[in-house]
Structure 1
Amino acid sequence: MKNTSKAATLESMFPLLGFEQGFLISKEADITACFKVRLPEIFTVGTEEYETIHSTWHKAIKTLPDYTVVCKQDWFIKEDYQPDLNREDQSFLGRSYQLHFNERPFLNHYCYLYLTATTKERMRKQSNFSSLCRGSLVAKERQDSETLSRFAEAVSQFERIINDSGLLSMVRMEEEELLGDRRGQGLLSKYLTLQNDQAGVLQDLHLGAKEMRVGNKRLCVHTLSDTDDLPEIVRSETRYEKLSTDRSDCMLSFAAPVGLLLSCNHIYNQYLFIDNSDDNLRKFEKTARNMHSLGRYSRSNQINREWIEKYLNEAHSYGQASIRAHFNVMCWAEDPVELKQAKNDTGSALVVMDCIPRLNTTDAATLYWAGIPGNAGDFPSEESFYTFMESALCFFNGETNYRNSPSPFGIKMSDRLTGKPVHLDLSDLPMKKGIITNRNKFVLGPSGSGKSFFTNHMVEQYYQQGAHVLLVDTGNSYQGLCELIKGKTKGKDGVYFTYTEDNPISFNPFHTDDRVFDIEKKESIKTVILTLWKRDDEPPTRSEEVALSNAVNLYIDLLKKDIIHLPSFNGFYEFVRDEYSQVLAEKKVREKDFDLANFLNVLEPYYKGGEYDYLLNSDKQLDLLSKRFIVFEIDAIKDHRILFPVVTIIIMEVFINKMRRLKGIRKMILIEEAWKAIAKEGMAEYIRYLFKTVRKFFGEAVIVTQEVDDIIHSPIVKESIINNSDCKILLDQRKYMNKFDDIQKMLGLTEKQRGQILSINQNNDPSRLYKEVWIGLGGIHSGVYATEVSPQQYLAFTTEEAEKLEVMQLAAQLGGDIEAAIRQITALKQENND
């Protein structure tokens, strides 16, 4: 059977003529400036920011001349996450993380803005005058140079106002981005194929009354083109109930339901038609008089006159500009069942906005055609409605999805809406931009909130990116990760210190690989010995300090000259007992100035044969300066009156030594609940020193706590930690709901940040295993992210005793290979699930 449907080539019908001087030129002589727009990330904007965004759009659009069409086009395209598996230095856990998210579907957002200068006649044309209905198009005479110059100046002012707002930004699109080049298709081709990849191929367009297709993609268009379909009240923002509580609000833009919350392929078109406002109002005045004259014949005429009068009163009383507007949601799918679902979802989203959904089949093709970038002048005027600019701007989509930090360094978190991995820099880029002044972090989360998973996930990524990581723990939270690193590096890294009766913790404070003893090292040794020698309430005299300092310096000189080959506390004790006693005798140092016998007697328990002879005489000769991942697990000794102070000093000395001597290398010290014990033992000065000084040495100090009372009542936390931690990280705070006012006051949180924190884990996807975490940077940027890890990472990070035991027992059977044990367990679980 012969095909009788009308057909034409795209080339003959295409409405655009070319690209000149930064503008798209249409065959109807319209000129269009095209921009890419950057919106704030979703769930990071509060009421005040939404008001500022609304005001910014309003100020910018007011600079545009009459007969300008503003078309904001938000694309929401389904894409799959493509993992980075080509890195040669990728770790076992890093690769498992990437594979876990392989082809994870998510909705990607692209925002474009088209400013089109057209004419009064073109603004009034209806759908039957669209270029889509012409047999052929003939290029008309272009706009004169003066018109183009005025419009270009207005566009520049528009761009400057948007970019100066601090919340929005826009970048002019170049010719290659619009028209494409050899590397791939441009925006025009992407629109005509409804796909965002670079290899799109133009397909047939079927523009029928019953169905519209772009290749195999079937389209449906819901329109907001009549005031009867709109809500009585519109706002710049709305409360998102799923993430709000009775004590907090989570805010989204009014149009968010047809934005990222609508999980199908769609384009949300927002049109504003800037007519001459005075002409519009004069026309309404005339219409109102006619309605008044005809009011006696029809009550509807009386009602219409009243509505027109209200509109005119509003315009004249508040100086409102009369414009026309139109909004439509264009979604598509290849599968008819999927398209039906998309239609239902779009209709439901419009209902959430208190709008009446209208599925437009009559003008679907014309609306699609007018949506071509640069062709807004072809929009059918009968599909628009009169309103005020402030009201129309409430329908602008106001947020985008989570963005990756443009920085090579960072950690991987997940988008809380879709689960897509997000690269997040919490240190370098915020420092460079002045958002933070230090890299220190404060982490607060109750038991079971996912705190250990987050900190394991963070320190593992820091380590893989070359950082030196030192952890002080009180619960074996990092044992699995440490053992994994130790096995992978064959003992070069992954040092785990813990205290048991069979294998007590031991050090050698006098050992260094390179025999370099700087001031920090010498002071650390003297501090250790003083701690063993004197009680907290018994400060040394000046003469005793000098005598001890001389003894340490003389012993170190012997080490440097290689006279003493195996440095240890035993050797130092013998040196003081034998050689240094002669030095004191020669100097005639009196017993009351330095009681040598008392000194040796008090330190005897730490000399060979004494009760604690293991503590400072380690025979491993381990220099921790070169070790990049070190864990001190001190739960067994945190209440020990003698061991704990010494171990604490040595831990701090290890990190301070790294801090001072490792130039240009990133360092991190993370102290879990142990900081409370450190503070109790009079070691608070170390914390104060760390938090105030570490930033100068490319380092960061992290304090982790789970007790809310600790931060409310501790002056150490308030003065030293919180005030010197520009990055604050909070996990699920619902257990502390009744105390959260105190937390908010202590941390200086805004109402927006309060709403973000109390929204944590309120609407988690049951198909994914994750916990959410709030991250605030310098009081300027904050957001909620998901900590989702692979099954392999879960086994490495878990703190559940049964799961840890299963991994360790299997690793013991495999010769201590933690990685092989994790691989075997995850493979077995995968088989059982399949």
Structure 2
Amino acid sequence: MAHSKKRVFDGLYAQLEETDGHVVLFSAKGEPSVIFEMTNPVQQLCTDAEQYQHFQDVLSGVVQTLGEGYALQKQDILCKQAYHHDVPEDAEFLTKSYFRYFEGREFTEIRTYLVITQEAQRSQFVQYDPKKWLDFHVKVNKVDDILREKHISHRRLTKEEVNEYCHRFMAFRFRNGPFSMTNFKASDEYLKTGNRVIRSYPLVDIDEINLPTLVKPYTQMNLNGYGIATDLLSFLTQVPHADCVVYNQVVQIPGQRKLLRKLQGKAKRHSSMPDPSNKIALADIEEVLNRLAVDSTLLVYSNFNILVSCPPDKVTTVTSFLETKLYECGIMPSRTAYNQLELFTDSFPGNAYAFNPDYDLFLTLSDAALCFFFKEHMKTSEDTPLTTFYTDRQGLPVCIDITGKEGKVKMTDNANFFCIGPSGSGKSFHMNSVVRQLLEQQTDVVMVDTGDSYEGICNYYKGTYISYSKEKPISMNPFKVTKEEYEQNFGEKKNFLKSLIFLIFKGNEFPDKIEDMLINQTIVEYYEAYFHPFTRFSDKEREDLRLKLLMDFKMEEDAAKLEQSMEDIERQIHEPQPEENPEERGLLLPAEARRRKLLRQCRSLLALAHDGASSKGEKEHALIIIEKYKKELFDNSLLIKIDKRITRLEEQRRRMKVKELSFNSYYEFALERIPQITALEKISFNIREFAAILKQFYRGGELEDTLNSDLDVSLFDERFIVFEIDKIKDDAVLFPIVVLIIMDVFLQKMRIKKGRKALIIEEAWKAIASPTMAEYVKYLYKTVRKFHGIAGVVTQELNDVIDSPIVKEAIINNSDVKILLDQTKFKDRYDRIASILGLTPIQRQQIFTINALNNHEGRSYFKEVWICRGQHSDVFGVEEAPECYWAYTTERTEKEALKLYLAHYGTMQEAITQLEADRRKAGSPKYLEFARKVNEHKKVMSLW
């Protein structure tokens, strides 16, 4: 170190000490400072103007709290760093490939420090003033409280950290790792250290303060036709050739009364000389005085300085870039910054009072000054046990909790999602990335696909790939239920089977109430007959049935029938009574025995009524009782008929046995039982039509296997199952049924298996997007939540969302996670979509920044995606390692090339490794181009 340099820097600080619970840095003139490290609360490209305004209010509150005799210094250090992520030894091959791909990638890190400094009295000696010292600590604690209250992440630096911070500033080295100072030289143009130069760019030329007349805490950037809210100085992250940028922001709060008197005196002077320039100056001063009187703003002295480190031959480029960007903000930076060493030393942390008041500071209102404070932070990883890695907008991996409910910050109640992206937007590539990361974190995944999008990843993870064909149809037995499931979950299973039967019987039509009641009853009785075979009606059931049938008979009775029945009873009373066999009397049903007894009594009373010896009163009384007995005999004859009917019904039910559970046995049961119910209930149902439509799934029918073959139980143990049903997507009957029974398989798997499960339905969801299925899908989505599950649908057509009521009612309303890819082609008709999806104006702006940034340089294939979890939304990049690309690819040519390598090397991992190594050897052509070459040779590159 040169002696002169030592002198320059040695006089900056008096001491650093830990006192009264604070680490305090004392400047050479004795000003104490406390330093906080904090995170700016506004995330880059959040597009939300309110967040900038909110932080502006917080800073304003801090300035008001500090008050006269204090300075607020904020330093934002934007430094180039190299990405590194520790990967466990036992990590999956694709995960290792992913982090190896990003290892060492350069990115701009933003670190922010807030320094509170108390002004020292300007005298030869710094005197200790206990009152001032106490006030300093009180103010520091108040600022701490404000930041905590406003949920702004911050902490006080330790003594070692303050020491390192000051030394790093001196060396202007903020890159992680060791640092040193070499050959420090100062000139009028810049400072030189080693092979870099450091140059200061003060924002304001004090001689002519060229600032915009109106300033806000943010600016509008035009992106894709939208005005996006962004930081005034957001361009600081993109300074070309700079390895480090420090933006030093200082506001000093002087004594207000003295300044006010000064301003009022100035106003008087200007008003006494009425020329145009004086009128303008007077108007400006009056505006300031009005603002001070009305608003809670203060007069402050400010300094804003951008310090940049870059190679010596790039200074002109950097200067040109900064001047252009500042002009765009309406700022004309100072061109006379010849005091480079002074500007550098004055910008040191805790040196807020070192500036020369004559040419470094300008007077303004605190609210205006705070608009120039930098307010943004970069995207950071979330604290979550379930990690899904994406990249931020500059290409740096960040992890999020894709479910929104497993991380430290709970954003959602359920992890269900829908994903919309037009063809070519990278939808399948994105879903492959998500599935890979879910599988690697012990999630069971079931996928329903039409188009082989997941064949590669399924092969890689040795999952089960079930492809539908006529020769080998996907067959299951959705009617099979265990006793445990029957006892615990029958309501849900019944609703599923009802949905399935109506899907076959009615298609997209709603069943009417009678049809619903009939099918519901047959399903209930079918399982009852299997688990609890019928023997007889209980006394209660018999009594209930008796009352019901009696009511039915009475409903059917008309006057003619009633008259005829009464004539029959009259005739029976007048007929001579046959001799009764005493043995036979013991075998009679109670109703028959009662009938005979009543007839005997009626005959006796009739004899009494016709007996000449009877008095008139006796005759009348006998006739009244006969009439009463006639009514009882009428009811009694009905009960005899009903009892016989109940006995017949009992016999019918006893005959109905269910020996095994399958569609076949249900079909037989229903065809026998439905006519019995319709006869009993006196209702109509087209049993022949029902039988004919369902017949194709019955014995000997074309689709018998679909609903009658037991599913391979081992499927429940598989971690990854892909059902590929592309071959039946045009079969109006079969397609929805297969999708439905796959969903049922997932539900069974979900209940049986512990841990996280995911069901992802690609375009196949359209098969079940009918009004009749809405209730079932709603039920599926709600049930999934209870069992630590995720249900998701993926679609490319936005019209599907707009036109289908089931999507809105069952899927959108029950999904807390929305995923959208490039929506540019729908931009002109987005109002309706936005209202259906419940998008805020801010979210719409975010969506239209997808793929719209100039952030593709130095990166491989990647697409951006907008993810909203509850109310938290942001745009992320889907960028993966080449090895992952080969595992995910849906391009037929690339898949064929991979299969050639697989055939040669035997395992998917080895095939991918060699294929990518060969592509690099060939000069890293595009994936498709290299795949074509491999296919032309029909063998691996080493054999060409």
Tell me which interval the TM-score lies in, with the shorter structure as reference length.
0.7 to 0.9
Q: Secondary structure at the match of 2:723?
A: strand
Instruction: Give the drift of 1:829.
Output: 2.2
Structure-2 change in CA distance of 1:522 and 1:814 (3 Å): farther
Candidates 187, 191, 197, aligned match of 1:218: 197
Change (3 A) 1:773 1:518: farther
Distance change >3 Å, CA 119–CA 207, structure 1 → 2: farther
Where 2:209 maps in the other structure, the secondary structure is helix
TM-score (norm 2): 0.74
- Summarize the Cα distance change of 1:518–1:361 in structure 2 as closer, same or farther, 3 Å threshold: farther
Q: Distance in 1 between matches of 2:779 and 2:185?
A: 71
* C-alpha displacement of 1:755: 1.0
Name the structure 2 match of 1:690: 780
Q: CA deviation at 1:270?
A: 0.6
- Code of the residue aligned with 2:466 in structure 1: it is F
User: 1:727, 1:778 within 8 Å by CA — same for their partners in 2?
Assistant: yes
- Per the alignment, in what secondary structure is the counterpart of residue 811 of structure 2? helix
Q: CA deviation at 1:386?
A: 0.6
**What pairs with 1:220-369 in structure 2 (closer than 5 Å)?**
220-225=199-204, 226=206, 228-241=209-222, 243-245=223-225, 248-259=226-237, 264=242, 265-289=244-268, 307-308=284-285, 311-312=288-289, 314-316=291-293, 318=295, 320-333=297-310, 335-358=311-334, 361-369=337-345
Counterparts of 1:365 and 1:432 in 2: how far apart (Å)?
Answer: 46
Deviation at 1:613, TM superposition (A): 4.5
Alpha-carbon offset, residue 274 of structure 1: 0.6
Alignment of 1:395-410 (within 5 A): 395-410=372-387
Contact 2:239 2:322 in 1 (8 A): no
Aligned to 1:793: 884
1:472 counterpart residue number: 448
Query: Does 1:385 find its partner at 2:362?
Result: yes
Q: CA deviation at 1:388?
A: 0.6
Q: How far is 1:428 from its partner? A: 4.9
Q: CA deviation at 1:709?
A: 2.1
1:302-328, Cα deviation, whole Å (9 max, x unpaired): 865665455445544656421111101
| Alignment pair present for 1:195 and 2:173 | yes
Q: Hey, what does 2:106 align to over in structure 1? A: 105
Q: Is the 8 A contact 1:412 1:424 kept in 2?
A: yes
Of 746, 749, 758, the residue aligned with 1:655 is: 746
CA contact (8 A) 2:83 2:107 kept: yes
Select 2:731's aligned residue among 625, 640, 647.
640
User: For residue 163 of structure 1, what is the aligned residue in structure 2?
Assistant: 148
The alpha carbon displacement at 1:608 in A equals 7.5
Please point out which of 397, 400, 416 is paired with 1:440: 416
Long gaps (5+) in structure 1: 123-137, 180-185, 487-493, 556-568
C-alpha change, 1:619 and 1:465, in structure 2 (3 Å) is: same
Aligned counterpart, 2:36: 35
Deviation string, structure 1 residues 280-336 (Cα, Å, up to 9, x no partner): 12223334555667x59x997786566545544554465642111110100113x32
The answer to whether the aligner puts 1:761 opposite 2:760 as a matched pair is no
Q: Does 1:719 align with 2:809?
A: yes
Residue 506 of structure 1 corresponds to: 475
Q: Contact (CA 8 Å) 2:663, 2:697: kept in 1 or not?
A: no
The correspondence of residues 418-817 of structure 1 with structure 2, limited to 5 A, is 418-428=394-404, 433-486=409-462, 494-507=463-476, 519-520=488-489, 524=493, 531=500, 535-536=505-506, 537=511, 538-539=515-516, 540-541=518-519, 544-550=522-528, 552-553=530-531, 572=661, 611-616=702-707, 621-663=712-754, 665-680=755-770, 682-767=772-857, 768=859, 769-779=861-871, 781-812=872-903, 814-815=905-906, 817=907
1:221/1:359 contact within 8 Å kept: no
Name the SS of the counterpart of 1:482 in structure 2: helix
> Any idea what SS the aligned residue of 2:173 has?
coil
Counterpart Cα distance in 2 of 1:170 and 1:156 = 13
Q: Secondary structure at the match of 2:113?
A: strand
Q: Give the alignment partner of residue 60 of structure 1, picking from 62, 80, 84.
A: 62
State the alpha-carbon separation in 2 of the partners of residues 744 and 599 from structure 1. Answer: 43
CA contact (8 A) 1:772 1:786 kept: yes
- The answer to whether the aligner puts 1:69 opposite 2:50 as a matched pair is no
Q: Give the 3-state SS of the residue equivalent to 1:703 in structure 2.
A: strand
Q: Compare CA radii of gyration and give the structure with the larger one.
A: 2
RMSD: 3.9
Corresponding residue to 2:161 among 157, 172, 177: 177
Q: 1:304 to 1:670 in 2, by over 3 A?
A: same
Task: Determine if the alignment matches structure 1 residue 412 to structure 2 residue 389.
Answer: yes
Give the CA deviation at 1:52.
2.0
Q: CA deviation at 1:423?
A: 1.0
Q: 1:475 to 1:705 in 2, by over 3 A?
A: same
Give the drift of 1:35.
Answer: 1.1
The answer to which structure has the higher helix fraction is 2
Distance 1:574 1:51, change over 3 A: closer
Offset of 1:452 from its aligned partner? Answer: 1.2
Query: How far apart, CA to CA, are the structure 2 residues paired with 1:365 and 1:507?
Result: 80
3-state SS of 2:227 partner: coil
> How has the CA–CA distance of structure 1 residues 289 and 693 changed in structure 2, closer, same or farther, with 3 Å as cutoff?
same
Over 3 Å counting, the alpha-carbon distance change for 1:5 and 1:514 in structure 2 is: farther
Q: C-alpha displacement at 1:59, in angstroms?
A: 2.1
Once the two structures are TM-superposed, the CA of residue 474 in structure 1 deviates from its matched residue by 2.0
How far off its partner does 1:399 sit? 0.8
Distance 2:101 2:155 in 1: 35
Q: Deviations for 1:371-428, whole angstroms, at most 9, x for unmatched residues?
A: 3322323233230101111111110111111111122322111111x21111112325
Q: Give distance in 1, aligned partners of 2:60 and 2:726.
A: 60
The answer on whether the counterparts of 2:395 and 2:877 sit within 8 Å (CA) in structure 1 is yes
Whether the aligned pair in 2 keeps the contact of 1:272 and 1:323 (CA below 8 Å) is yes
Q: Which residue is 1:134 aligned to? A: none
CA separation of 1:112/1:50 partners in 2, compared to 1, >3 Å: closer, same or farther?
same
1:47-78 deviation digits (Å, cap 9, x = unpaired): 22222222221122111131211101000000
Q: Percent sequence identity over matched residues?
A: 32
Q: Determine if contact 2:820/2:866 at 8 Å carries over to the other structure.
A: yes
**Secondary structure of the structure 1 residue equivalent to 2:919:** helix
In structure 1, what is the Cα distance between the partners aligned to 2:519 and 2:477?
A: 26
**Contact in 2 for aligned 1:509/1:525 (Cα 8 Å):** no
2:609 corresponds in structure 1 to: none
TM-score normalized by structure 1?
A: 0.83
How many Å separate the matches in 2 of 1:823 and 1:661? Answer: 37
- Equivalent pairs counted in the alignment come to 773
Where structure 2 has 5 or more consecutive residues not aligned to the other structure, the ranges are 534-657, 925-944
Q: Kindly indicate whether the alpha-carbon contact (under 8 Å) linking 2:37 and 2:156 is maintained by their aligned counterparts in 1.
A: yes
Give 1:554 deviation, angstroms.
7.3
Superimposed CA distance per residue, residues 173-198 of structure 1 (whole angstroms, 9 cap, x where no aligned partner): 2334323xxxxxx3223222323356
Match of 1:491 in 2: none
